[in-house]
Structure 1
Amino acid sequence: MTSKEMCRYGNQCYRKNPIHFQEFDHPFDPKTRLTASDDNTTQSMASSSTQNPNKRLKSSDAKTETEPTIDSNILGFYLTKVSGIDDKYNEMTAKAIDLKEILSARNGKLLESIQMNYMFEMDWLLSQYPKQFRTLPLMIVYGSKRDGMATKEMQNQTKDYPHVRLVGAQLVDPFGTHHSKMMFLRYDRGLRVVIHTANLIERDWTHKTQGVWVSPLFPPLPSSHSSDADISQTRFKTDLIEYLQSYHSMEVNEWIETIRRHDLSSAKVFLIGSVPGRHVGADMKCRFGHLKLRRVLSEFGPSAKSVDSSWPAITQFSSIGSLGPTADNWLTNEFLSSLSTVCGPKSLTTRPQMKCIFPSVEDVRTSLEGYCGGGSLPYSSQTHQRQTYLSSFLHLWRSERRGRSHAVPHIKTYARYSSDWKQMAYFLLTSANLSKAAWGQLQKNGSQLAIRSYEIGVLFIPKLFANQEFFDVSKTEDSKQMSNTSSFAIPYDIPLTPYSSNDTVWTWDTPHTQLPDTHGNAWIPGSS
Structure 2
Amino acid sequence: MAEKLKKCPYGEQCYRKNPIHFGEFSHPHLDKIYENGLDSKTSKYVIPDDLFMSAELIETQLKLLEKLFPKTKSRGSSSEIGNSDGKGIDSIRSSRCLDGGKIKADSVKRSKSPVASTSASCGLPSNATSISSTDNSNLSKKAKITRNIKDYIPVVLEKGHAADKLERAAPYNFFLTAITDAKLTHHEPLTITFQEILDESLGEIESSVQINFMVEIGWLLGHYYFAGIMGTPLLILYGDETPELANISKTHPEVTAVKVNMPTPFATSHAKVMLLGYTDGGMRVVISTANLYEDDWHNRTQGIWISPKLPALPANVDTTAGESPTNFRHDLMLYLVEYKIAKLQPWIARIRKTDFSSINVFFIGSTPGGFREGPRGYSWGHARVGELLQKYCTAVDARVPVICQSSSIGSLGPNIQTWIQHDFLNSLRKHSGPPGLTHFPPFKMIYPSFGNVSNSHDGLLGGGCLPYGASTNDKQSWLRGHLFQWCSKQRYRSQAMPHIKSYTRMKLEDQSIYWFMLTSANLSKAAWGAFNKNVNIAPCLRIMNYEAGVLFLPRFVTGEETFPLGHVRDGIPAFPLPYDVPLTPYTPDDKPFLMDYLHQ
Q: TM-score, normalising length from structure 2?
A: 0.74
Partner of 1:188: 279
Contact 1:177–1:452 (8 Å) recurs in 2? yes
Q: 1:498 aligned to 2:498?
A: no
For the aligned residues, what is the CA RMSD?
2.9
Matches within 5 A, 1:335-374: 335-346=424-435, 350-374=439-463
CA apart distance, 1:173: 1.2
The alignment of Structure 1 onto Structure 2 pairs a total of residues equal to: 476
Q: Distance in 2 between matches of 1:421 and 1:375?
A: 37
Q: 1:473 aligned to 2:568?
A: no
- What letter matches 1:246 in structure 2? E
Partner of 2:84: none
Residues 350-407 of structure 1: CA distance to partner in whole angstroms, max 9, x if unpaired?
3210100000011111101111111110111011110000000000000000000000
Residues 464-483 of structure 1: CA distance to partner in whole angstroms, max 9, x if unpaired?
122310001126xx9xx9x9
Which of 231, 253, 268 matches 1:177?
A: 268
Which of 159, 180, 202 matches 1:83?
A: 180
DSSP 3-state at the match of 1:140: strand
Contact 1:342–1:349 (8 Å) recurs in 2? no
Distance 1:308 1:63, change over 3 A: same
Partner of 1:487: 574
DSSP 3-state at the match of 1:170: coil
Which of 122, 138, 141 matches 2:237?
A: 141
Q: Distance in 1 between matches of 2:25 and 2:540?
A: 47
Q: 1:122 aligned to 2:217?
A: yes
Partner of 1:524: 599
CA apart distance, 1:109: 1.2
Q: Distance in 1 between matches of 2:161 and 2:477?
A: 52
Q: 1:289 aligned to 2:381?
A: yes
Q: Distance in 2 between matches of 1:320 and 1:170?
A: 23
Q: 1:420 aligned to 2:509?
A: yes
Contact 1:34–1:45 (8 Å) recurs in 2? no
Q: 1:71 aligned to 2:167?
A: yes
Q: Distance in 1 between matches of 2:192 and 2:354?
A: 25
Partner of 2:308: 216
Which of 176, 183, 193 matches 1:98?
A: 193
Partner of 1:432: 521
Partner of 1:166: 257
Distance 1:46 1:110, change over 3 A: closer
Contact 1:358–1:396 (8 Å) recurs in 2? yes
Partner of 1:404: 493
Q: Distance in 1 between matches of 2:117 and 2:317?
A: 55
DSSP 3-state at the match of 1:79: strand
Distance 1:346 1:386, change over 3 A: same
CA apart distance, 1:485: 4.5
Partner of 1:452: 544
Q: Distance in 1 between matches of 2:259 and 2:159?
A: 37
Contact 2:213–2:272 (8 Å) recurs in 1? yes
Matches within 5 A, 1:244-323: 244-282=336-374, 285-303=377-395, 307-323=396-412
Distance 1:281 1:463, change over 3 A: closer
- What letter matches 2:475 in structure 1? R
Distance 1:166 1:356, change over 3 A: same
DSSP 3-state at the match of 2:228: helix
Residues 419-478 of structure 1: CA distance to partner in whole angstroms, max 9, x if unpaired?
426110000000000100000000143610010000000000111122310001126xx9
Q: 1:109 aligned to 2:209?
A: no
CA apart distance, 1:231: 3.7
Distance 1:337 1:46, change over 3 A: closer
Distance 1:223 1:84, change over 3 A: same
Q: 1:27 aligned to 2:97?
A: no
Contact 1:227–1:262 (8 Å) recurs in 2? no
Residues 35-60 of structure 1: CA distance to partner in whole angstroms, max 9, x if unpaired?
78672542224999xxxx9xx95423
Range 414-423 or range 457-466, more displaced:
414-423
Contact 2:178–2:297 (8 Å) recurs in 1? yes
Matches within 5 A, 1:49-60: 58-60=155-157
Q: Distance in 2 between matches of 1:363 and 1:244?
A: 37
CA apart distance, 1:338: 1.2
Partner of 2:139: none
- What letter matches 2:599 in structure 1? I
CA apart distance, 1:34: 6.9
Contact 1:465–1:486 (8 Å) recurs in 2? no
Which of 411, 419, 422 matches 1:330?
A: 419
Q: 1:393 aligned to 2:482?
A: yes
Could you list the runs of 4 or more consecutive aligned residues of structure 1 that deviate by over 4 angstroms after TM superposition? 5-10, 30-38, 62-65, 156-159, 483-486
- What letter matches 1:428 in structure 2? M
Identity of aligned residues (%): 37
Q: TM-score, normalising length from structure 1?
A: 0.84
Distance 1:347 1:273, change over 3 A: farther
Q: Distance in 2 between matches of 1:324 and 1:400?
A: 33
Which of 44, 49, 58 matches 2:114?
A: 44
CA apart distance, 1:153: 4.0
Contact 1:284–1:448 (8 Å) recurs in 2? no
DSSP 3-state at the match of 2:343: helix
Residues 174-202 of structure 1: CA distance to partner in whole angstroms, max 9, x if unpaired?
11100000000011231100001000001
Residues 144-195 of structure 1: CA distance to partner in whole angstroms, max 9, x if unpaired?
7xxxxx2634225664221101122220111110000000001123110000
Distance 1:46 1:133, change over 3 A: closer
Q: Distance in 2 between matches of 1:460 and 1:28?
A: 46
Distance 1:231 1:503, change over 3 A: same
CA apart distance, 1:119: 0.2
CA apart distance, 1:335: 0.5
Distance 1:159 1:327, change over 3 A: farther
CA apart distance, 1:319: 0.3
CA apart distance, 1:206: 1.7
Q: Which has the higher contact order (CA 8 A, sep 6+)?
A: 1
Q: Distance in 2 between matches of 1:426 and 1:346?
A: 18
